[in-house]
Amino acid sequence: MKTDVLIIGGGPAGLSAAIETASRGLDVTIVDEASQLGGQLNQQTQVLRPLPSVYEPMRGFELANKLIEQIKGFNVRLLLNHRVVGFYADGSAGITDEENVFPVKAKKIIVASGAAEKAVAFPKWTMPGIMTIGAAQTLINRDFVMPGKEAVIVGSSDFAMETAIQLMDVGIRVKAIIEKQSGALAKEQEKASELSKNGIPFYFNSFIKEARGNGQVEQIDIELPDEVITLSVDLVCMDGGRAPILDVFYQLGCSFGFQEELGGWVPQYNHTLQTGREDVYLAGNAAGISTQGPLLLTGMIAGISVSEELQAISPAEANEMREALWKELGLLEDKEVYSGRIKHLENFTSPLLKDQFIS
Amino acid sequence: MHIEKHPVLGRQLHKPVTIYFNDQPYQAYTQQSVAAALMANGIKKLGVSRKLVQSRGLFCSRGRCCSCYMTIDGEDHVRSCLTEVEEGMRIYPNMDDPEVRREIDED
Ligand code: FES
């Protein structure tokens, strides 16, 4: 199979890159291991803001539908329930439908592989009933399943607060928010105060000492600053933050740099979102952990750069659009993340890790 | 428990199907993943870890952590959080290392 642009990942960044490239007449292929486009947006019921100026604020799944609707009119081939498993010597991607593997030769590749949630380790954290906040959200909003009846949340980021509210809304009793720092980390203070108003205790400077249960979590011990308390719970949702998913970049031989603000190890890239490999671009959380608005913007930037390389738009036009998008990114993105991004761009010519397989 | 009426999304559970876990029938709905459908029926333990034989269940629900391996319709080592339920599906927990896959049509 041949295609102009192969987009790995059909979440918000991959879809916005697809819109930019396919709308200019390029032949685009999207591969995603899920059975549905939209990535994590599909189970996000919260209202997303700020979004790029072309979108008004809307809920995550509404945004997914909107993006999917937009690519419908264009020449986009979908390989859902498919995975990239490696690359051939000639640069073709090896793609599997879980039965056979076949090569796809693309002129340019945009990797929008997203992020994975990290764990918070404590004794017995691997027991059933203990899961990431993202998993709990998926169960409620995609599968329509109650992940438990009585829960604690480990962590107090915006995402953790949002998930706690969504758990409560379906009738799960949230018994405590456990945070090892001395205050709530959420930037949107209203969410934390909504939870305290509902009588949910925040335990600061605290952590789970141990979980217990027979085949699934039943009890946890929480180490508070001056005592240890025990709670009966059947659900522990942990927020360990997120890190970019890098597998494909290792296989492609891209170079990496370490950038704390972007979530740790991130492939090197320049202002066109081109990686250390000329034919490979990246977008979304793979380019550094961020919020949905900026994820869309990076997808647009990568899409425009690839369109320019494949001569679907002029360099002058591409430059102008890219500059406007970077400006908008600077306005929408969290200040720390954005400055991490700028630092990361500056390191493009001096990558820390190159030609190494560390996966 | 299945969520019959979601506070934001409303009623979404449409097509009920019957799945079998350890040969026992359970009710699920077509859009659900195997791991989620089992959880709705109170089953959280999906298998055990290969080395220390400790209980494992759904952890990431994203296909990243591989904590949810199960045997589904005769295939070992399938990520149950990424597999959607189908009518009559036969599901078994992951209790040890899978058999290495062989050519099926070699008789
Ligand atoms: S729960 Fe992590 S791979 Fe299925």
Strand partners, A94: A86, A103
Residue B54 to residue A127, Cβ atoms within 8 A: yes
How many Cα neighbours within 13 Å face the side chain of A75?
A: 11
User: Where is average pLDDT lowest: A66-70, A83-87, A105-109, B99-103?
Assistant: B99-103
Contact pairs from chain A to chain B, CB under 8 Å: 109
Top residue of A61, A143, A235 to mutate, by most chain B CBs within 10 Å, is A143
- Give A183-199 pLDDT, tens digit per residue: 888 888 888 888 989 99
Decide: B56 in ligand 1 pocket, CB within 6 A.
no
Residue B58 to residue A131, Cβ atoms within 8 A: yes
A283, A343, A340, A273: which is closest to A308 by C-alpha?
A273
User: Using CA atoms, how far apart are residues A153 and A164, in angstroms rounded to an integer?
Assistant: 7
Q: How far is the CA of A1 from the centre of ligand 1 (A)?
A: 30
The predicted pLDDT at position B103 comes to 59
- Give B26-75 pLDDT, tens digit per residue: 999 998 999 999 999 999 999 999 888 999 999 999 999 999 999 999 99
Q: What percent of chain B has pLDDT over 90?
A: 69
Per-residue pLDDT averaged across A245-271, rounded?
Answer: 93
Decide: B58 in ligand 1 pocket, CB within 6 A.
yes
User: Using CA atoms, how far apart are residues A55 and A328, in angstroms rounded to an integer?
Assistant: 13
Decide: B90 in ligand 1 pocket, CB within 6 A.
no
pLDDT above 60 for A358: no
Q: How far is the CA of A57 from the centre of ligand 1 (A)?
A: 31
Mean pLDDT score across all residues of chain A:
93
Comparing alpha-carbon positions, the chain A residue that sits nearest to B44 is A128
pLDDT above 60 for A355: no
The predicted pLDDT at position B97 comes to 79
Decide: B85 in ligand 1 pocket, CB within 6 A.
no
A146 has a chain B CB within 8 A of its CB: yes
Asked if A214 and A327 touch (Cβ cutoff 8 Å), the reply is no
**Which is the closest atom of ligand 1 to the Cα of B57?**
1
The predicted pLDDT at position A328 comes to 96
pLDDT above 70 for A352: no
- Give A87-119 pLDDT, tens digit per residue: 999 999 999 998 899 999 999 999 999 999 999
pLDDT above 60 for B106: no
User: Using CA atoms, how far apart are residues A132 and A118, in angstroms rounded to an integer?
Assistant: 8
Per-residue pLDDT averaged across A278-284, rounded?
Answer: 97
* Ramachandran category for residue A45: left, alpha or beta (phi over 0 → left; psi -120 to 50 → alpha): alpha
Which of B61, B70, B77, when mutated, tests ligand 1's pocket best, judged by the most ligand atoms within 8 Å of its CB? B61
User: Using CA atoms, how far apart are residues A294 and A301, in angstroms rounded to an integer?
Assistant: 10
Could you say which of B13, B45, B67 has the minimum Cβ distance to residue A216?
Answer: B45
Position A67 confidence tier, pLDDT thresholds 50, 70, 90? very high
Which of B33, B58, B77, B94, when mutated, tests ligand 1's pocket best, judged by the most ligand atoms within 8 Å of its CB? B58
A42 has a chain B CB within 8 A of its CB: no
SS3 category, B57: coil
The predicted pLDDT at position A359 comes to 45
The predicted pLDDT at position A357 comes to 52
Decide: B60 in ligand 1 pocket, CB within 6 A.
yes
Residue B31 to chain A, least CA–CA distance (Å) = 7
- Give A17-66 pLDDT, tens digit per residue: 999 999 999 999 999 998 899 999 988 888 888 899 888 899 999 999 99
Q: Is the ipTM of this complex over 0.95?
A: no
Could you say which of A138, A170, A216 has the minimum Cβ distance to residue B3?
Answer: A170
The predicted pLDDT at position A262 comes to 95
Comparing alpha-carbon positions, the chain B residue that sits nearest to A234 is B44
Interface of A with B in 51-70 (CB under 8 A): 59, 61
Position A353 confidence tier, pLDDT thresholds 50, 70, 90? low
Residue B57 to residue A116, Cβ atoms within 8 A: no
Position B105 confidence tier, pLDDT thresholds 50, 70, 90? low
Position A347 confidence tier, pLDDT thresholds 50, 70, 90? confident
A118 has a chain B CB within 8 A of its CB: no
User: Using CA atoms, how far apart are residues A68 and A72, in angstroms rounded to an integer?
Assistant: 7
Total length of chain A: 359
Decide: B95 in ligand 1 pocket, CB within 6 A.
no
Could you say which of B1, B31, B46 has the minimum Cβ distance to residue A146?
Answer: B1
Residue A263 corresponds to which tokens in the numbers above?
A: 């979530």
User: Using CA atoms, how far apart are residues A17 and B73, in angstroms rounded to an integer?
Assistant: 37
Q: How far is the CA of A19 from the centre of ligand 1 (A)?
A: 30
Residue A128 to residue B55, Cβ atoms within 8 A: yes
